[in-house]
Structure 1
Amino acid sequence: MPLLALKIDVDTFRGTLQGVPHLVEILHRHGADATFLFSLGRDHTGRAIRRAFRPGFMKKVSRTSVVSHYGLKTLMYGTLLPGPDIGRGCADILRGVRDAGFEVGIHCWDHVKWQDGVVGADMDWTEHEMRLACTQFTDVFGTEPIVHGAAGWQMNRHALRMTQRLGFHYASDCRGSHPFMPVWNAEVVHCPQLPTTLPTLDELIGVDNVVEDNVHERLLELTESPPATGHVYTLHAELEGMKLAPMFERLLLGWKQQGYELVSLQKLYAGIAVDELPRHEVLQGEIPGRSGNLLLQGPEFLADAGR
């Protein structure tokens, strides 16, 4: 049976309070597993207004209703309103996800700060942010994290190195086509990447006649032929856990009809022969439907190439 891993990014305080419990209920009802990746520091979503000056950002916003998905109050956190502490304020919800049988891991410490700042950050900044998230995770769950999934698929070379140094067993920090061992400028980072292989709902809605009511059909077209290494689909507590929940349920039904087993990243990783993983360069690039650059799986790295 082909595997399709559900990776749930939780970006905000509201998404944690409302979207996460709803997703737990939906997943249980459909007999699906998943990995929840949490933002663990303060919610500073309002500071994302600075992205308005990025090429393509306003075009994306015009296709998806940011206010309806995130709420006006969330869009003021970190500017007109103080940002609530997600890890501390929602600790019972986070532990409840684990107790319900789902894998839990780290998305980031401060979502906006990471997504907007990590690409150009130095080692000290990067390590500080990742250690804050790890410490909060350990305080909440009583165990160390084993999976990392970067906010906005934004990483730098220091962050990749830290996934190895901090002992993560695997990560899902980039977009790509199949599991691999990442290489940055000929340096192999020994933390396998399980990249997101499918587009997200907000990347598809508003493009080529795709709307909220039929977006699931477009995704199901992309999963008709299962790849040997499985798929990773990234969803968001603020979208599929709230307004887009009906579309997510249609996806779950469709994927089960296509024969997929809906699993966590941990289950996907368990079926991988790590020592046999291909090594691929990682690079910064664009993908359709999303503004700016993000981390992508690049060409296979052949150490002897050109010799």
Structure 2
Amino acid sequence: MARIALKIDVDTWRGTREGMPALAQWLERQGIQATFLFSLGPDHTGRALRRVFRPGFFSKVARTSVLEHYGWRTLMFGTVLPGPDIGRREAALLRSVARAGFETGIHTWDHVRWQDGVAGANEAWTRRELDHAVQRYAEIFGVSAHIHGAAGWQMNEAAYRLEADFGITLASDTRGSAPFLPVDAAGQVIGPMQLPTTLPTLDELIGRDGWDVSNVEQALLRLTQDRDHDQVYTLHAELEGQKWLPIFERLIHGWQAQGHCLTSIGELASALDPKTLPCCQVGQGQVPGRSGVLAVPLSFSE
């Protein structure tokens, strides 16, 4: 039986207050495990509008109705309106997810700042951003974080090294097809085990190849007919936790009908032996349906 790990990225204040609880409550009722990764600092979503010149940005906005999912207020945070400090305002709500038995970890400190800046940042900048997130997570939960999933699948080489320095033992920062260990050009392991997102996200599929909100789960179900291949699926509290929750429910029921075991990132990793994983340098590549470039494995070596 193949396993599908559910990785839930919580990007915004609205997603934290509305989408995250809806997903947690629905999954708890179904008895399904998942990993929730939190944005722990300021919500500066409005600053993402600077991506207007990025190739593919307009097509994604047109396909997925960004305003409908995020709302005008969220799209003004960090520009016209000050960005609310998510971790400070919603600490109790974040802790409630852990109390419900779900695995939790770090997504980012400032989502837009990391997504737009880390690829070209130096080690000092990257350390500051990670340190803010690590410290805030410990303040909220009283324990150290051991899971990290990068905002926007954006990383740099220093970030992989710093994850290990900060006690992160498991990461899902990349897009790819299978678990691996990240290495530098000399072949030296530089960070924790990577469980990349292996499946496309809903916002990468909707509006392409005839897929819409009425049938898009079928695109994913076609990709998971092979029950022998484990997968990682990333969803977003702002999307599947709100207007696209009915799609997510159909998708989950479809996976259950296919015989898949739905689980968390940590549970998926617990069955893996790092000594047997391939080593891989990580670079940048494109994913159909998503603008810009993302962290992807470049080549594998045994």
TM-score (norm 1): 0.96
Give the stretch that moved more between structures: 21-30 or 197-206: 21-30
**Structure 2 residue 225 is matched with structure 1 residue 224:** yes
Identical amino acids, percent of aligned pairs: 56
Name the structure 2 match of 1:124: 124
Structure 1 residues 268, 293: CA separation in 2 closer, same or farther (over 3 Å shift)? Answer: same
Give the stretch that moved more between structures: 276-285 or 122-131: 276-285
**Structure 2 residue 201 is matched with structure 1 residue 200:** yes
Distance 1:118 1:169 in 2: 20
**Structure 2 residue 23 is matched with structure 1 residue 3:** no
Segments of structure 2 that go 5 or more residues without pairing to the other structure are none
Give 1:144-293 correspondences, 5 Å limit: 144-186=144-186, 187-228=188-229, 230-293=230-293
For the 8 Å contact 1:174–1:296, the answer to whether it is kept is yes
Find the residue that maps to 2:75 and give its secondary structure: helix
Name the structure 2 match of 1:305: none
Q: Which amino acid aligns with 2:208?
A: V
Distance 1:59 1:183 in 2: 34
Give 1:31-50 correspondences, 5 Å limit: 31-50=31-50
Find the residue that maps to 1:198 and give its secondary structure: coil
Distance 2:273 2:173 in 1: 20
Name the structure 1 match of 2:73: 73
**Cα deviation, residue 30, structure 1:** 2.0
Equivalenced residue count is 301
**Cα deviation, residue 198, structure 1:** 0.1
Distance 1:252 1:55 in 2: 32
For the 8 Å contact 2:5–2:34, the answer to whether it is kept is yes
**Cα deviation, residue 299, structure 1:** 1.5
Distance 1:244 1:297 in 2: 30
**Cα deviation, residue 59, structure 1:** 1.2
Distance 1:21 1:47 in 2: 25
**Cα deviation, residue 2, structure 1:** 1.6
For the 8 Å contact 1:30–1:252, the answer to whether it is kept is no
TM-score (norm 2): 0.98
CA-based RMSD of the aligned residues comes to 0.9
Distance 1:72 1:194 in 2: 34
Distance 1:226 1:287 in 2: 24
Distance 1:190 1:182 in 2: 6
For the 8 Å contact 2:46–2:74, the answer to whether it is kept is yes
For the 8 Å contact 2:4–2:263, the answer to whether it is kept is yes
For the 8 Å contact 1:281–1:298, the answer to whether it is kept is yes
Find the residue that maps to 2:104 and give its secondary structure: strand
Distance 1:128 1:283 in 2: 22
For the 8 Å contact 1:281–1:301, the answer to whether it is kept is no
- Which runs of at least 4 in structure 1 moved beyond 6 Å after TM superposition? none
Q: Which amino acid aligns with 2:200?
A: P
**Cα deviation, residue 185, structure 1:** 2.1
